[in-house]
Amino acid sequence: MINADISVSDAWVKHPQGKLFTRTWTPAGELAGVPILLFHDSLGSVELWRGFPAALSAATRRKVMVYDRLGFGKSDVYAGAFPLEFIADEATTFVPALLEGLGLKRFIALGHSVGGGMIVNVAALYPGAVVALITEAAQAFPEDQTLKSITEAKEQFRDDAQVARLAKYHGDKARWVLNAWTDTWLHPGFATWSLEGVLPRVTCPTLVIHGEHDEYGSLRHPEMIGERSGGPAQVEIIAGAYHVPHREKPELIVQMVADFVRDME
């Protein structure tokens, strides 16, 4: 249930490759600071954030803005081949239109899973715009544990019923969403991908959140993000959590983010 003091509005952002669907949660009264922009995971969408954006908006007294990447959720179909460089490509190809369309000059970026890798690239590309960075369950490289879990997920999604569950959020694009995730990460050409060279260009404060038992990445990922970031970094390992801490321990994660951004304008 959305707090009565939080208003919700939807909008579309135009891009040469297709329209991007966005949703914004705005608390009533005076805002505490710059908006928080959320980047979803490999199977995610605006709707799959569920109650997290509203809770985050209420706790931080900030606008919380979310969008469906092209090909996902309510956004238009992704035409053509999905690039192996899709993580960096999101920052260079789509984020400029997104920031212009949403009127964002300065913001805090929060990314879940692969969205965390994307915001590292965004912060490196827009150091004057990104006030702070919050990664959650982000991967920093294609670890064996990550690829093993993705391979297992690919097998599970051979079941049409599993794909039908995705279709609730992605419609006819569900199979494409699944393939964009599994085929890209398991492609031999993706094996050399890493955030290692990008992280030193991230100079803003960074909060690195990672579940203790994350099945898609060991603690090597938050350690690398924390150690290699060019600015101050705070690493938080969430006891008992797996790959989606904001859903598994929502109150803890909301409070952790609210504390981190409290004095940021």
Q: What is the predicted pLDDT for the residue at 4?
A: 58
**Mean per-residue pLDDT, 73-101:** 97
Q: Which CATH architecture has domain 6-142+194-261?
A: 3-Layer(aba) Sandwich (3.40)
Secondary structure (3-state) at 1: coil
Residues for the chain: how many in total?
265
User: Can you tell me the distance from the alpha carbon of 249 to that of 241, in angstroms, rounded to the nearest whole number?
Assistant: 7
For a pLDDT cut of 70, what percent of the chain falls above it? 98
Task: Give, to the nearest 10 degrees, the angle between helix 144-156 and helix 174-185.
Answer: 150
The whole-number average pLDDT for the span 176-201 is 97
Task: Enumerate the H helices of the chain as residue ranges.
Answer: 52-60, 86-89, 95-102, 114-125, 144-156, 160-170, 174-185, 220-228, 245-248, 250-261
d(CA 180, CA 229): 28
The residue ranges of every structural domain in the chain are 6-142+194-261
210-238 tens-digit pLDDT: 999 999 999 999 999 999 999 999 999 99
**Entry pTM:** 0.97
